[in-house]
Amino acid sequence: MPEVNIDWLDECQRHRLKEMLVVVDENDKVIGANNKRNCHLNENIDKGLLHRSFSVLLFNEENKVLIQQRADTKVTFPGYYSDSCCSHPLFTPLELEEQDAIGVKRAALRRMQAELGIPPGQVSIEDILFMTIYHHKAKSDANWGEHEICYLLLVKKNVPLNPDLSEAKSVSYMNKEELQELLDKGARGEVKVAPWLRTIAEKCLPKWWDHLGDIVQLAEPNTIYRV
């Protein structure tokens, strides 16, 4: 595997590069496992390495969505504005379980607690709605990138937050207009916006935002969008 300098990462992020992720094909069939470092190296992505991930959209009771700015020591897209929480299920029996996406939901719950500091018990598996899947690929820099089959999850609940600063530089709830302003600033180069946030905001949120009260009917769990 290529040697890439990771000295600029903090200890937490270096440790997480050893986590074993779920390697899948383009139809989300599990074909193996590989560590986070290898899954995010462009050299491997260019050879077709693809892994499973998730993105969480956390809405409060005012129908505002939580947007986070990724920490500057994240290995991919450091300092970029992103969705509420995004990460990966691990290659473990609990997080590989596929019925009703329960394994991915468990991973999302684990990461919302670790990344956003949501106390245990504030969000349950039942609060997490599996909306759809999208397949995306993007380079962060010359060495690192993303190539993922991503489960898009939605939670609507007021919860206390205490973000881990090694994961999230900042968090804020935004309404439609505020999120659009952020995207416009990104298009002008004034801020950095993660490509998957733009995809979600442009492809999914226009269909969902006005229907959060009965959002279940809009879920498409058997669809994989290619973006």
Tell me which residues are annotated as active site: 86, 148
Closest to 54 (Cα-Cα) out of 108, 102, 91, 16 = 108
Element housing 52 (H / E)? strand 51-59
**Half-sphere exposure in the Cβ direction for 166 (13 Å, CA):** 11
The sign of the CA dihedral 151, 156, 159, 165 is positive
Amino acid at 109: L
Q: CB–CB of 20/37 below 8 Å?
A: no
Residue 85 pairs with which residues in a beta bridge? 56
The pairing of beta strand 30-35 with beta strand 85-87: unpaired
Q: CB–CB of 49/38 below 8 Å?
A: yes
Q: Could you tell me the CA-to-CA distances from 162 to 14, 18, 117, 166 in Å, in that order?
A: 22, 25, 4, 12
Tell me the residue length of the chain: 227
- CA gap 148, 158 in Å, rounded: 29
> How many angstroms separate the most distant Cα atoms in the chain?
49
